[in-house]
Amino acid sequence: SSNNLAWYQCVSPDAAVQDAKAGLQAMQALAAKGDLGAGWLDTQAACHAANGDYAQATKLQEDVIERVKRLQSGDPDVLKRFEERRALYAAGKPYIAPEDE
């Protein structure tokens, strides 16, 4: 649930929900407890980008992509979404979720 809350705090287009600083703090606390899986790293990357740290966001997103490739996910759309977010971060842009996400 902490991951889900941090995700929405970092990527929500709704200003009432968006709190990138709190989202990043939550993800850093989770990361301090151990290795995060690909989905959690994806959230952490989004939070770094939302806080303007695009270099770290890009690095984390590359880790996500490598993990997903190693697992050979059966859903190519998942990998595509991760790669699209990496491209945003590399371009110095945060990921903002669509209204229906």
**Tens digit of pLDDT for each residue in 22-81?**
999 999 898 888 777 888 999 999 999 999 999 999 999 999 999 888 887 667 788 899
Q: Residue 98 gets which letter from DSSP? A: -
**The pLDDT of residue 33:** 84
Nearest residue to 91 (alpha-carbon basis) of 54, 48, 41: 54
Q: For the purposes of burial, counting CB atoms within 10 Å of the CB of 89, is it exposed (0-12), middle (13-18) or buried (19 or more)?
A: buried
**The pLDDT of residue 69:** 86
Nearest residue to 57 (alpha-carbon basis) of 22, 26, 92: 92
Q: Is the CB of residue 40 less than 8 Å from the CB of residue 30?
A: yes
pTM greater than 0.75:
yes
Q: Is the CB of residue 60 less than 8 Å from the CB of residue 45?
A: yes
Segments in 12-98 forming alpha helices (H):
20-32, 38-50, 54-71, 76-90
Average pLDDT value for residue range 72-96 = 90
One-letter amino acid identity for 91?
Answer: A
**The pLDDT of residue 73:** 61
